[in-house]
Amino acid sequence: MTRSFLARVGRLLVALLALALWVLWLRAGDRREESTGSSGERHAGVVGSPRAAVYRLGQFDPPRHRAAHPVKKGAPLRFAVAEEVRITPANHGVWKVDGDIAQWSLLVEAPGALNLNFGFRKFRMPESGVLELRSRDGELLVRPFTSADNDAHGELWTPLVAGESAMLVVTLDVDEREAMVLELGSVNR
């Protein structure tokens, strides 16, 4: 065997090793490390890949929360903890396309929560678009949000929904997918 052949084989092995390490690095980046949210609760974040259909917050302990924030006459009632997130259809959830209709969905789970509400930091729904909050079994929890809910400030805050999980579902025409602006910035429980 010649030296140039051995050099080429060596370079190929180094390239394959670099490729394998890069793939492992990408897969590791798909899973969030356990972190501490703004409430001090530990949470795991995204389950699986960034395109996972479930976003899980850590366990919430309402009695502990009430003990830490007792009701005081004349003071605002602190009934929820805000968990800051940065969820968009580009980095979480699942898109499905059926003919001319596209649908994005993401199940948000907050174990221990008595209720949830969602603060969309960015919200702009095209004419054909509808955002719905549904239960695990598909029941509509509050009224749908449409382009009629687009405001100059570009945000949307949903009413409270009972329970520890809610499915976010957007349905719209495929050709208006790029016109939608949606970024969930806060899950309050």
In whole angstroms, give the CA distance from residue 33 to residue 14.
Answer: 29
pLDDT score for 21: 55
Distance from chain centroid for Cα 154 = 18
pLDDT score for 45: 43
Asked if residues 79 and 65 have their Cβ atoms less than 8 Å apart, the reply is no
In whole angstroms, give the CA distance from residue 26 to residue 49.
Answer: 10
pLDDT score for 11: 77
The whole-chain average pLDDT of the chain stands at 82
Range of lowest pLDDT (59-63, 82-86, 144-148): 59-63
In whole angstroms, give the CA distance from residue 44 to residue 34.
Answer: 5
97 CB contacts (<8 Å, ≥6 apart)? 103, 174
Global confidence as pTM: 0.70
Region 23-46: mean pLDDT is: 40
Cβ neighbour number for residue 108 with a 10 Å cutoff: 25
* 185 vs 76: which has the higher pLDDT: 185
